[in-house]
Chain A
Amino acid sequence: MRLSRRAFISSASAFTILAYLGVPNAQAHMSIASEPEDRKLIASVVRAMFPHDRFPEGPYLRTADAVIKKALGSPASALELKSGLIALKQVGFDKMSGSEALAHVKSMEGSPLFSLVHGTTVTGLYTDSEVHQLLGYEGSSFEQGGYIKRGFDDLNWLPEPRIEEHPELAKFLGAGPKSYAVAAN
């Protein structure tokens, strides 16, 4: 859902919330992004959704920043984020165990906050350079001469396989499905 600023402001009930958020006042934008507990709460939702025990807080917090940045793109999405965070605080999300948090996230499926966090994480958390290091992904390689001398074939827990085609391949592909074919015409 996207609301134009005019449609948003003309709604009386929205006006109260607008005053609370200060949207679209830039200073109030900062108040969402700069409240440390909000950032941590969003990071904990990301972690519940995409749990990696060995990831430190950094990548999750940076993903939370991306969520906040995306939410601030419009008054409507800022409102959705703020409303979602209020609801999470009311159920004590920050006190939940991993499995409770996952179950709660599951109950949020389809909600604007879920979509916002899920969509941002898939393209945010897994493009984080610290995450790439943690996962052992070496990324850009052309400037280093590719992987030809850097382990493209270093797997040694299986035998070396054949790379040429099987001598009977042409015969196999040319044989056709004669035994199954229906008569033409």
Chain B
Amino acid sequence: MKKINKNEEAVVVIGSGAGGGTMVYELTKAGIPCVCLEAGAFIKPEEYVNDEWPSFSQMAWLDKRTTSGNWRVAKDFPGLPTWLVKAVGGTTTHWAGATPRFLDYEFKTLSTYGEIAGASLLDWPISLTDMESYYTKAEDAIGSTHRGGRAPLPANNNYKVFANGAEKVGYKFYATGPYGTNAEAYDGRPGSIQDGFNFQGDKNLSKWNTAVREIPRALETGLLDLRPESHVVKITHDPSGRADAVLYVDKDGNLHRQAAKVVCLAGNSIESPRLLLMSDSNRFPNGLANGSDQVGRNYMRHMTGSMYARFEKPVNFYRGETMAGFIADEVIHDPNRGFAGGYYMETLALGPAFLAAFLDPGGYGPEFTAIMDNYENVAGMWLVGEDMPQSSNRITLSAETDQWGLPAPNVHFDDHPNDVAMREYAYEKAEALYNAVGALQTYRTPPYPSTHNLGTCRMSANPEDGVVDQWGRSHEVRNLFVSDGSVMTTGAAANPTLTIVALAIRQAEYLAGELKKGKV
């Protein structure tokens, strides 16, 4: 592995997940050496565990975090607002694999939906047309099924219930993808063996994950200096206001400095704004790149909910790919439904340990155990849709501290009335679907700790409306880039990983060009 001197002004990428992992691969492929600082350890696929809680303990981001706001997660999981991974590969280790693209109008929601009270809607400075070729590259990198001539995954048992229910209620747009796990061997990795542990890392390597594709390939170029267990705690700047170094803490608590000519920040929508807020200085008293006061604001986490249903006969929904089932019929903007924006329905299965923990936090009694007792006969789906950006939903620095004595992030989130209306509507539609194929009981499961964390450093045409420009480049600190889902101006209905990867490929291409022109 390449060793880059700590005094050498390097291209420094913070984080190695969908955004950071893609950045280091694309940059090193273009001949640009990079230092990648990852807070977590390099957990190898042979170390992944097919057991829910032990795997959670192995890879979840469990550093101190606090919560506030009226969302139910703050009540059910006050110390665990998100369900993210702290490891090389970031949350791509944990992601299920859904890869829908954003739709054209989802890049221009203010123009399409109009002003919505309490929402800070804004059109993206880019369009679907700008993104299309990068979406194709991202799908080819991930190996999305149903795209690029790649085969669909077969129907597993949970999908059979889901798709039959969809057909019965008149939905047309159901399928087993697009999904980021190989149905057949592709790109040097094997086809799925339907082992059912997507959330725990995929020991079979069929699921795309930057720890099994981008990071090893970037290391092979000989241009990547990967430093796991290196938690960046400050970005510093020179007198002119350019970022000039990052300070990070290693696993033993020692502080290091890496000089930087460019910083690409990809720590997820909680840690990225937290780091900018912690990087305040005399020149930037509100935090680095925060002259607009937009850093940390407009935190989005998608409208989510789940529906579990009990049937007379066995389903065994835990066998096979966790989320290889989609219904797109509700991904429309039709205000006649009582809300703006749309949502996907996606199959979802949990083992008994996680189902008990998440089915109805705080719940118990015979209705609860009727689902658990009939575990073999249960089917499940996730509902995921666009939530409204709100200026007051934000990441701030808490008075409580993390393991290094640094301010923990506080995650404040209030549901917008649009989110609540969409969730209620989606629950009813999900119940109708399962009832159409004979459900004996349905159970409305509230949101889990957030896996989709968006906004907080949003992209805007005007510097006063956001944090970064159309390339993810800070309006204020021109050698600072944000390379993760933080840049999303609005969240669309789609699962975000594909878009994060596509944006990172696009940003890396731009950055490589700017570096070659000497313009960074």
User: CB within 8 Å of B: which residues of A?
Assistant: 49-52, 54, 102, 105-106, 118, 122-123, 125-127, 131-132, 135-143, 145-148, 150-155, 157-166, 168-169, 172-174, 176-177, 180-182, 184-185
B331 within 8 A of A: yes
User: Do residues B111 and A132 form an inter-chain contact, with CB atoms below 8 A?
Assistant: no
Q: How far is the CA of A139 from the CA of B318 in the complex (A)?
A: 8
B373 within 8 A of A: yes
Within residues 481 to 515 of chain B, which ones have a CB less than 8 A from any CB in chain A?
none
Q: A135-B373, A141-B196, A184-B111 are in contact. Are A162 and B351 (CB under 8 A)?
A: no
User: Do residues B152 and A141 form an inter-chain contact, with CB atoms below 8 A?
Assistant: no
Question: Which residues on A sit within 8 Å (CB–CB) of B155?
Answer: 153, 160-161, 163
B375 within 8 A of A: yes
Q: How far is the CA of A118 from the CA of B368 in the complex (A)?
A: 13
Q: How far is the CA of A148 from the CA of B365 in the complex (A)?
A: 35
B53 within 8 A of A: yes
Question: Which residues on A sit within 8 Å (CB–CB) of B103?
Answer: 173-174, 176
User: Which residue of A has the minimal Cβ distance to B128?
Assistant: A174
B443 within 8 A of A: no
User: Do residues B365 and A102 form an inter-chain contact, with CB atoms below 8 A?
Assistant: yes
User: Do residues B331 and A173 form an inter-chain contact, with CB atoms below 8 A?
Assistant: yes
Q: A118-B362, A147-B194, A152-B320 are in contact. Are A177 and B332 (CB under 8 A)?
A: yes
User: Do residues B320 and A126 form an inter-chain contact, with CB atoms below 8 A?
Assistant: no
User: Do residues B113 and A176 form an inter-chain contact, with CB atoms below 8 A?
Assistant: no
A-B contact pairs, 5 of them (CB 8 A): A131-B352, A147-B319, A152-B194, A160-B160, A166-B172
B227 within 8 A of A: no
Q: How far is the CA of A72 from the CA of B124 in the complex (A)?
A: 55
User: Do residues A182 and B319 form an inter-chain contact, with CB atoms below 8 A?
Assistant: no
Question: Which residues on B sit within 8 Å (CB–CB) of A50?
Answer: 364, 368-369, 372
Question: Which residues on A sit within 8 Å (CB–CB) of B413?
Answer: none
Question: Which residues on A sit within 8 Å (CB–CB) of B393?
Answer: none
Closest Cβ–Cβ distance, residue A182 to chain B (whole Å): 4
User: Which residue of A has the minimal Cβ distance to B175?
Assistant: A165
B interface, over-half SS: loop
Q: How far is the CA of A4 from the CA of B167 in the complex (A)?
A: 60
User: Do residues B334 and A51 form an inter-chain contact, with CB atoms below 8 A?
Assistant: no
User: What are the interface flags for B146-168 relative to A under an 8 Å C-beta threshold, 1 for contact and 0 otherwise?
Assistant: 10000011111101110110010
Please tell me which stretch of B235-243, B308-316, B382-390, B454-462 contacts chain A, meaning at least 4 of its Cβ atoms lie within 8 angstroms of it.
Answer: B308-316
Given contacts A126-B356, A180-B335, A181-B333, 12 further A-B contacts (CB under 8 A): A50-B369, A54-B373, A135-B373, A137-B318, A138-B318, A141-B195, A148-B192, A148-B320, A163-B163, A172-B173, A173-B328, A180-B333
User: Which residue of B has the minimal Cβ distance to A154?
Assistant: B157
Q: How far is the CA of A136 from the CA of B352 in the complex (A)?
A: 10
Question: Which residues on A sit within 8 Å (CB–CB) of B104?
Answer: 174, 176
User: Do residues A164 and B372 form an inter-chain contact, with CB atoms below 8 A?
Assistant: no
What is the size category of the interface that chain B forms with chain A? 35 or more
Contact of B366 among A51, A138, A141, A159 (CB under 8 A): A51
Contact of B316 among A155, A157, A158, A176 (CB under 8 A): A155
User: Do residues B197 and A141 form an inter-chain contact, with CB atoms below 8 A?
Assistant: yes
User: Do residues A146 and B154 form an inter-chain contact, with CB atoms below 8 A?
Assistant: no
User: Do residues A162 and B203 form an inter-chain contact, with CB atoms below 8 A?
Assistant: no
Contact of B355 among A126, A154, A181 (CB under 8 A): A126
User: Which residue of A has the minimal Cβ distance to B351?
Assistant: A137
Contact of B352 among A105, A132, A147, A160 (CB under 8 A): A132
User: Do residues B320 and A165 form an inter-chain contact, with CB atoms below 8 A?
Assistant: no
Question: Which residues on A sit within 8 Å (CB–CB) of B53?
Answer: 123, 127
Question: Which residues on B sit within 8 Å (CB–CB) of A161?
Answer: 155, 159-160, 163-164, 167, 174
User: Which residue of A has the minimal Cβ distance to B364?
Assistant: A49
Closest Cβ–Cβ distance, residue B45 to chain A (whole Å): 10
Contact of A135 among B105, B197, B372 (CB under 8 A): B372
User: CB within 8 Å of A: which residues of B?
Assistant: 50-53, 103-105, 108, 111-114, 146, 152-157, 159-161, 163-164, 167, 172-177, 192-197, 203-204, 313-316, 318-320, 328, 331-335, 351-353, 355-357, 362, 364-366, 368-369, 372-373, 375-376, 437
Question: Which residues on B sit within 8 Å (CB–CB) of A105?
Answer: 364
Contact of A142 among B105, B167, B203, B356 (CB under 8 A): B203
Closest Cβ–Cβ distance, residue B52 to chain A (whole Å): 8
User: Which residue of B has the minimal Cβ distance to A183?
Assistant: B111
User: Which residue of A has the minimal Cβ distance to B333?
Assistant: A177
Closest Cβ–Cβ distance, residue A138 to chain B (whole Å): 8
Question: Which residues on A sit within 8 Å (CB–CB) of B192?
Answer: 146, 148
Closest Cβ–Cβ distance, residue B257 to chain A (whole Å): 38
Q: How far is the CA of A160 from the CA of B155 in the complex (A)?
A: 8
Q: A155-B315, A166-B175 are in contact. Are A136 and B375 (CB under 8 A)?
A: yes
Question: Which residues on A sit within 8 Å (CB–CB) of B331?
Answer: 173
Q: How far is the CA of A66 from the CA of B104 in the complex (A)?
A: 53
Closest Cβ–Cβ distance, residue B119 to chain A (whole Å): 14
Q: How far is the CA of A93 from the CA of B66 in the complex (A)?
A: 38
Q: How far is the CA of A145 from the CA of B108 in the complex (A)?
A: 46
Question: Which residues on B sit within 8 Å (CB–CB) of A151?
Answer: 157, 316, 319
User: Which residue of A has the minimal Cβ distance to B115?
Assistant: A182
Question: Which residues on A sit within 8 Å (CB–CB) of B167?
Answer: 161
Q: A135-B373, A162-B174 are in contact. Are A146 and B113 (CB under 8 A)?
A: no
Q: How far is the CA of A182 from the CA of B437 in the complex (A)?
A: 39
The 6 closest A-B pairs by CB, nearest first: A146-B193, A161-B163, A146-B195, A140-B50, A177-B333, A126-B356
Question: Which residues on A sit within 8 Å (CB–CB) of B356?
Answer: 122-123, 125-126
Question: Which residues on B sit within 8 Å (CB–CB) of A184?
Answer: 108, 111
User: Which residue of B has the minimal Cβ distance to A54?
Assistant: B373
User: Which residue of A has the minimal Cβ distance to B376?
Assistant: A136
Q: How far is the CA of A164 from the CA of B324 in the complex (A)?
A: 12
Q: How far is the CA of A151 from the CA of B364 in the complex (A)?
A: 31
User: Do residues A169 and B328 form an inter-chain contact, with CB atoms below 8 A?
Assistant: yes
Question: Which residues on A sit within 8 Å (CB–CB) of B376?
Answer: 135-137
Closest Cβ–Cβ distance, residue B326 to chain A (whole Å): 9
Question: Which residues on A sit within 8 Å (CB–CB) of B364?
Answer: 49-50, 105, 118
Question: Which residues on B sit within 8 Å (CB–CB) of A143?
Answer: 50
Residue among A106, A143, A158 with the most chain B CB within 10 A? A158
Q: How far is the CA of A146 from the CA of B50 in the complex (A)?
A: 10
User: Which residue of B has the minimal Cβ distance to A155?
Assistant: B157
Q: How far is the CA of A169 from the CA of B241 in the complex (A)?
A: 49
Q: How far is the CA of A137 from the CA of B317 in the complex (A)?
A: 10
